[in-house]
Amino acid sequence: MKKTPKILFLSTLGLCMPLLAGCNVNGDNIKMADRLSIVYYPGGYGADYLHTLCKEFLASKNNTTPDKIEAGKDYVLQPDEDITYGADYWITSDERCPDIIISNILQPKAVTQGYISNLDDVFDATIDVDGKSMQIRDFAMSEAVEQYSFEIRRGQTDKHNFAMPWTAIPISIAYNNTILKQIQHVSSLSVGEDALDSEGKWQRAPETVTELKAIFEDCKAYNPNLAIFGWAPVNGTNWFESLISTWWAQRQGVDEPNQYTTEGSYYDFWKYDSPDIFKQTGLQDALGTIKDLLVSGGEFVNSFPKVGEMTIKSAQQAFAEGKSLFCLTGDFFEKEYSSFIEQSGQDFRMMRVPSIEGAETKDGEVKKLTFLNISSCAYVPSKALNKQLAKDFLVYTSTKSSCEKISGMIGAIRPFNYDARNITDYSSLSQFTKSVFDLYYDADDYIVKFPRNAAIDDISPIYLYEGVSESIFCGANYFTIISSLKTLTPKQIMVDGTDRFESVYSRAQRAFTEWNRLYDL
C-alpha cells in the first residue's frame, strides 16, 4: 500500500525546476463577470483557433451566431510569452486572475497551495462519441489525465484532476523534403532499396541510424555549406529527449526488458524505485548515438557553424529558410514559422526518429515509436471569476467534434481517442500536417515520460511532486549533458563520473536519500 508523504512538494538539492516563477507581463485587469478570459502562450499554434473556439462556444450558450460574439466584449485572450515558466503572476492575483490558463505545464505546488480548481466534474461530464455516451476521462489519453491527478494535502488518499490535457505534441525530426530529393547517395554505407530513386537520389527520409549516418555523408558531398542537423543549446537542448528517449526505449524495451534483461524497461524507469534506474544501459546507448552523430574531435559537427550561440527559435527559423536538412522540432513548426516557409517555398515534413541497431521488434519489424510531449494542458485558477463558464468551455472543447476542429485548424492532435486523419478537410491539409498525423497514428507505441504500468494510486510521489519528468538526468542541465559528450563517455556521464564531473547516478543517490526522508518511502 502506498505510504502518505511526510512532507510534500519541496524541491530537493536544487534538482527541481523553479516553481511558480514570475513573469513579466503587463497585468491589465482581465477579470469581468460573464466574460471568458484565457491566458495563453502566443507562440506555436497562435490565437486564431482560440478566437474561433470562443466564438462558437459562446454563441452556442447564448443562442446566437459566432459573428455576434466579440473579442474584448464577450471574451478576452491574453498572450503571455512567459507562461511556460510559471503562472503566479496570474493565479495569485485577486484582480487579474483569468478564467483559464493554457500552458505547457501545471506546477504541483500551485495545486497544493490552493490556486487551482478541481476539475473532477469536467472529467466526469458525459459527451457523445460516435453515438455512444462517454465520460471525458474515458475519451482522453489516460497518461495525460493521470499526470495532473494530485493528492493535495497530507493524509488524503484520493487523487483529483486539476488540468485538462490540451495537445499531444509529437517531438521528432523535421526534414526539408525539397533538398532531400536532390541529394545523391555517395556514402559507402548501405541503405534500403526503397530509400533511393532510379537515379540514386534520396526519395524518403532515413529510417535507421545507419541510413541517417549515410545521408549525413551524402549531404556533405551535396553541399558542404549546408548545415545537416538543426538544433540549439538555448531553450531547446531538452528537445533531444525525442532522440534519447526513443533510442533508449528501443534498446531497453518499452514495457518489458529488451537487450538488458536485468535492468528493467523504459517505463520501469519512471517508477523511481531506486537510484539504480539511472544505470540503465539503453540510456547510455542513446547518448552514444548522439555522440557518434554530432561530436568529433571534441567539437560539435554536422550542426550549424555557431550552434553554441543559437536559440531553438533561431535554429528553427534557419531550418525554415532552407539552411539545414534536418531540425529537432514539433508539430507546431509549420504554424510558428509559416512566413519563413512561405518565403523559402520548400516542402517540410516530419519523420520518425530512425531506429537504432538492436531495437525492440514487433511481428519481426522494428517497433514504430513516437515520442510525445503530453504536458500541454488547460486549467482553471481558484480565483477565477467565471469558473463554471470556464469549465463549460473545457467540456465543449473536449468533444470529438471540437478535437477534430482543432486538428483541422492548427494541425495539432488532442490527446483523445479520435483519428484526425478522418476529418472532413483532411485532403486540404499541408504535407507537413499529414506527416505529423501519420507520425502519431501509425505508431506501434508512444513514448511519454510517465510510469505507464503503475496504478495511479501507486505512482511514486517522487514522480508526482519532485518535477523529475522535467529532466531524465536527475535535474542536470541538458546542454551540460550534451556538451559533456565532447570529452566524456556516456558511461562516465551516467554512472562512473570523473574527478571533475559528478555522474547522474551519484546525483541520484543524494537525491533519493532526501526523497526517502521526505516521503517515508
Cα–Cα dist 284/287, whole Å: 5
Q: What is the pLDDT of residues 224-251, one digit of tens each?
A: 999 999 999 877 777 899 999 999 999 9
Q: What is the pLDDT of residues 101-124, one digit of tens each?
A: 999 888 888 988 899 999 999 999
Which CATH architecture does the domain made up of 36-166+377-428 adopt? 3-Layer(aba) Sandwich (3.40)
- Mean pLDDT over 140-145 rounds to 90
- Fold identical between 36-166+377-428 and 170-372? yes
Q: Where are the domains of the chain?
A: 36-166+377-428, 170-372
* pLDDT (0 to 100) of residue 291: 97
* pLDDT (0 to 100) of residue 330: 94
Give the contacts of 201 (CB within 8 A, at least 6 positions apart).
181, 182, 183, 184, 185
* pLDDT (0 to 100) of residue 153: 53
* pLDDT (0 to 100) of residue 218: 98
- With beta carbons less than 8 A apart as the criterion, state whether 9 and 465 touch: yes
pTM for this predicted structure? 0.90
Indicate if the pLDDT at residue 13 is higher than 50. Answer: no
For the chain, give the percent of residues with pLDDT over 70. 93
Fold of 170-372: D-Maltodextrin-Binding Protein; domain 2 (3.40.190)
Q: How confident is the model at residue 156 (pLDDT cuts 50, 70, 90)?
A: low
Indicate if the pLDDT at residue 18 is higher than 70. Answer: no
Q: What is the pLDDT of residues 417-466, one digit of tens each?
A: 999 999 998 999 999 999 999 999 999 999 999 999 888 788 888 988 88
* String of DSSP letters for 311-375: BHHHHHHHHHTT-EEEEEEETTHHHHTHHHHHHHT--EEEEPPPBPTT--EETTEE--EEEEE--
* pLDDT (0 to 100) of residue 2: 39
* pLDDT (0 to 100) of residue 151: 66
- The mean pLDDT of the chain is 91
Cα–Cα dist 240/245, whole Å: 8
